Amino acid sequence: MVKRTKYLKIDPLVPELHKIRLAARILNRGGVVAFPTETVYGLGANALDSRAVRRIFAAKGRPADNPLIVHIASFRDIKALVAYLPPRANLLMQRFWPGPLTLILPRSEVVPDIVTAGLDTVGIRMPSHPVAQALIRAARLPIAAPSANTSGRPSPTTGRHVLKDLRGKIDAVVDGGPAMVGLESTVLDLTVPVPTILRPGGITYEDLQAVLGEVAIDPAVRGSQVARPRAPGMKYKHYAPRGEVYLVAGELDRVTAKTRALVATWQRTGRRVAVLATRETAPAYEQEPRPDYLEILGSRSQPATIAANLFSALRNCDRHQADVILAEAIAEEGLGLAIMNRLRKSAANRIIQA
Ligand code: AMP
Ligand code: MG
């Protein structure tokens, strides 16, 4: 069914109240609304209403066995959603909420099966973006929200990305400008003896370790093929532009040399080739053989900039009709772990060792 998608441009820092109220009313009536968070844009619906949540899955084409994260705006809202709160959950909430950290906790009965994909756990997060906070408060509801993209595509970091994927399929887009972090939240499982990162994101392994001491990283995060990853979403094709992504890894000089050689090879076969480079390596691609499209993600010393630009860059490669996209690997520390996780998935594990 085609819907008329309402477009609401909003001030990201001081959101206009009448626009927030309008979007909240749509949520209260069981509609689906895309809105900015500090990580990426989310596609929200009333988390307590199975029919509303079903519309999220339909609009995105999301597999039913991939659970949704529930977003709240105040600490007391978590009580009703969980069976119990382990003490270290409190510690993490105090330290990192509001912010890009999702906690996997034992669920309560009020959370519908469709939200958790039948699991006995629920993922909960409190976003820090003023628009997300105002909207959740105004709706007076927990809001289930995955990323507001078509399933399998790069996550949306602007309102324009959302419209490109979901115009005509959702009730409204609240456009508050670009998302700040640019990668999804860190998903941390607290239902196991050692807290385990199921998906790396805006809060790093190092951040969590400083608070918790011991933290584990699920092997799927670094690309190990596991039949049933504990974050069900990790098994699906993800972050994929239309072009085929290859990740080029190794020592930096070799990476640029290998990438340039690959540009020449692919171009000889008539392919359009894009390169996702960094500030440090960009000069290597500004001479022949030139890629058809070059995107400089940022400096290797500022992974936050690379994170903020990554999904947009993948979508830009589509706009430039790249058949092949060559992305340089970066160091897997701090935010680098999350960046590499997304790149690996977007490359479907096609990694070329230089
Ligand atoms: P998205 O909101 O589209 O960024 O995806 C949410 C991610 O969190 C997916 O990878 C889900 O599989 C994961 N997730 C959500 N809820 C749970 C849960 N209860 N247990 C494990 N993983 C979850
Ligand atoms: Mg997603």
Adjacent-strand bridge partners of 249: 353
| Residue 98 C-alpha from the chain's centroid | 17
Residue span of the structural domain in which 125 resides: 6-181
Q: How far is residue 190's CA from residue 198's CA, in Å, rounded to a whole number?
A: 10
Residue 308 domain flag: yes
Provide the greatest CA pair distance for the chain.
61
Q: How far is residue 111's CA from residue 186's CA, in Å, rounded to a whole number?
A: 21
Using the atom order of ligand 1, give the atom closest to the CA of residue 199: 10
Picking from 276, 241, 62, the residue whose alpha carbon sits closest to that of residue 164 is 241
Tell me if 184 CB under 6 Å of ligand 1.
yes
Among 136, 159, 181, the domain boundary falls at 181
69 Cα: distance to centroid of ligand 1 (angstroms): 6
Tell me if 121 CB under 6 Å of ligand 1.
yes
Same domain? 134 vs 264: no
Residue 239 domain flag: no
Residue 207 domain flag: no
Same domain? 25 vs 165: yes
Tell me if 123 CB under 6 Å of ligand 1.
yes
| pLDDT in single tens digits along all 354 residues of the chain | 678 999 999 999 999 999 999 999 999 999 999 999 999 999 999 999 999 999 999 999 999 999 999 999 999 999 999 999 999 999 999 999 999 999 999 999 999 999 999 999 999 999 999 999 999 999 999 999 999 999 999 999 999 999 999 999 999 999 999 999 999 999 999 999 999 999 999 999 999 999 999 999 999 999 887 766 777 777 667 888 899 999 999 999 999 999 999 999 999 999 999 999 999 999 999 999 999 999 999 999 999 999 999 999 999 999 999 999 999 999 999 999 999 999 999 999 899 999
184 Cα: distance to centroid of ligand 2 (angstroms): 8
The CATH number linked to 146 is: 3.90.870.10
Total domains in the chain come to: 2
